[in-house]
Amino acid sequence: MIIAIDGTLASGKGTIARALAARYGLPHMDTGRLYRATGVAALKAGADFEDAAALAGIARALDLNDFEEAELRTSDAGQAASKVAAVPEVRAALLELQRAFAGQDGGAILDGRDIGTVICPDADVKLWVDASVEVRARRRHAELMAKGETITLDEMIDQLKTRDARDRNREDAPMQAASDAHLIDTTDLTIDAAVEYARAAIDAALAEKHAASRPETQA
């Protein structure tokens, strides 16, 4: 079973994906890490963010073991990620890795921005997770403050809006809900309630799949 989870920054999609991976015993890939690592590697190398070939080369040479989780989670890493993610050559360089992960025996859960639309358009279940900008900014702000970053809530709201706009408006694989995705708005939902909703959608999809694969009984 392949579960594709897409959505906006700080919508809760990663937390939902991890909970579902534990529930269904499926391997999970946070595809945003690939773009974050590419962005961080490009910053470290002093790469030109306009040089698509250089950025794609960095993406192709990525070894995720070279990165500390903390350095991938800073707001600078997120902004660099959003910039490299808008480069088609970078997306192409990271595509096969994601498809191979999705294609492993037994299936997988991937979360990102284009999983249900580009990476796994035939996923068994697609979820789109979103929440209001204010609620997402408050969540992300609290996370960053806890890590010692100093950023105001207003700056966070501005950053989120800039990143949402860049992710939504890029030409290649823009962030968007697949037409057949189940929508989860976490603005007023606890994480437990959001996971329950996702589980209900997945279990219904599984039941439908099993029913469709059963031979029809003769009347």
List residues near ligand DC by CB under 6 A: 9, 31-32, 35-36, 78, 81-82, 85, 112-115, 163, 167
Q: How far is the CB of 15 from ligand DC (least distance, A)?
A: 12
- Of the two residues 70 and 204, which places its CB atom closer to ligand DC in the complex? 70
Q: Length of the chain, please?
A: 219
- In the bound state with ligand DC, the residue whose beta carbon lies nearer, of 12 and 112, is 112
Contact 34, 97 (CB under 8 A): yes
Where would I find the H helices in 68-189? 69-72, 75-84, 88-102, 133-146, 153-169
Task: Name which of 84, 31, 76 is nearest 55 in CA terms.
Answer: 84
User: What is the rounded distance in angstroms from the CA atom of residue 80 to the CA atom of residue 165?
Assistant: 14
Question: Cβ of residue 139: shortest distance to ligand DC, in angstroms?
Answer: 12
Residue 130 or 167: which CB sits closer to ligand DC? 167
Pairing, β 125-130 against β 182-185 = parallel
Which position has the token pair 């990620």?
81
- Enumerate the β-bridge partners of residue 5: 111, 127
Closest contact distance (angstroms) between CB of 212 and ligand DC is 29
- Of 79 and 206, nearer to ligand DC (C-beta) is 79
Distance between CA atoms of residues 94 and 22, nearest Å: 25
Smallest gap from Cβ 133 to ligand DC, in A, equals: 14
- Contact criterion met (CB below 8 Å) for 16 and 194: yes
Do residues 47 and 58 lie in contact, with contact meaning Cβ atoms separated by under 8 Å? yes
Closest approach of ligand DC to the CB of residue 187, in Å: 18
Which one, 114 or 130, has the nearer CB to ligand DC?
114
We find the least distance from the C-beta atom of residue 168 to ligand DC, in angstroms, to be: 10
Residue matched to tokens 């959003």: 82
**Residue number with CB closer to ligand DC (113 or 182):** 113
